[in-house]
Amino acid sequence: MKPKLASRESLVREFHFTDRDFEQIRKLIYEHAGINLSLAKKDMVYSRLGRRLRATGLNNFKDYLLFLESDKDSEWESFVNSLTTNLTSFFREAHHFPVLAAHINGIKHRRPINIWCNAASTGEEPYTIAITMMDLFDSLTPPVRIIATDIDTNALQKASDGVYSLEQAEKLPKDILERFFLKGRGDKTGQVKVRKELRDLVSFSQLNLQDAQWPIKGPFDAIFCRNVMIYFDKATQNKILQRFVPIMHRDALLFAGHSESLQSLTDMFQLRGKTVYSLSEKAQALAKPASNPAANPIISNAK
């Protein structure tokens, strides 16, 4: 009798990974984070969670999922971190920042400014917002509070550290690099670190947009929710957009990602420019009056 040949998949893959395992992972990440993984993400899931199997000493995904269910407090965070995507860069979608500056310039004499970046990732986006505000106010200590949140705690730690490779920052204009970053020396050669004043302008905190309660109050003058909605189904997208409205000033702006359109999701926002939205007339009745002074947003677990 000829020996049974191994399948191509079993020859390539280190761990046993079934369609049932994949469906269970899709269910868990959707329930916890609202992330809607497509069927095309199976190889990505295997690759990223395979690292967790090695770290936990487990030999197959079935055992890993059992371990996850019984030990959520310590492993769940790593599970979510593994399946979130942190593609970002300084001044990404650069057309948004002149719009932000013009918007804040028009209201900066009315109240202190509060901005929420809710997909902070490794920090490039909130630091870009901070640079924009410092340039607008011509000050390293402008009357601005930037709240930067993300579900991925590993990414937030890097963001809070504010240390990047020179390669990550090399596309920045030379004057910005010189004014807002410190170049590393010795064993830090090849790295840059954001200035203390820049770091002090941003408060980093873990936040899951799917949580029943958000540890922030607002009201905000601008919300950056860029390249986030693409990971959610339409019901989740609509739910999150509805929750933005009561924590926004009536004249606030919402910045979305380049491939995201909100007009088919909700009647609460109207297009103001390229992926920039203001509150619709209907939504303004639910938002914070634009004339009210804005207290600093409350974050119960800010670092």
Which residues are within 8 A (CB) of 208 and not within 5 positions of it... i.e. 6 or more apart?
32, 33, 151
Angle 42-56/61-70 helices, nearest 10 degrees?
70
- Active-site residue, from 21, 150, 152, 221: 150
Q: Is the bond into 219 cis (omega within 30 degrees of 0)?
A: yes
The answer to whether 150 is a known catalytic residue is: yes
Using CB atoms within 10 Å of the CB of residue 123, give its burial: 0 to 12 exposed, 13 to 18 middle, 19+ buried. buried
The answer to whether 63 is a known catalytic residue is: no
Alpha helices by DSSP H, listed for the chain, are 8-12, 19-33, 42-56, 61-70, 72-83, 96-107, 124-137, 153-161, 166-169, 174-180, 196-200, 234-244, 281-284
Active site positions, annotated: 48, 150
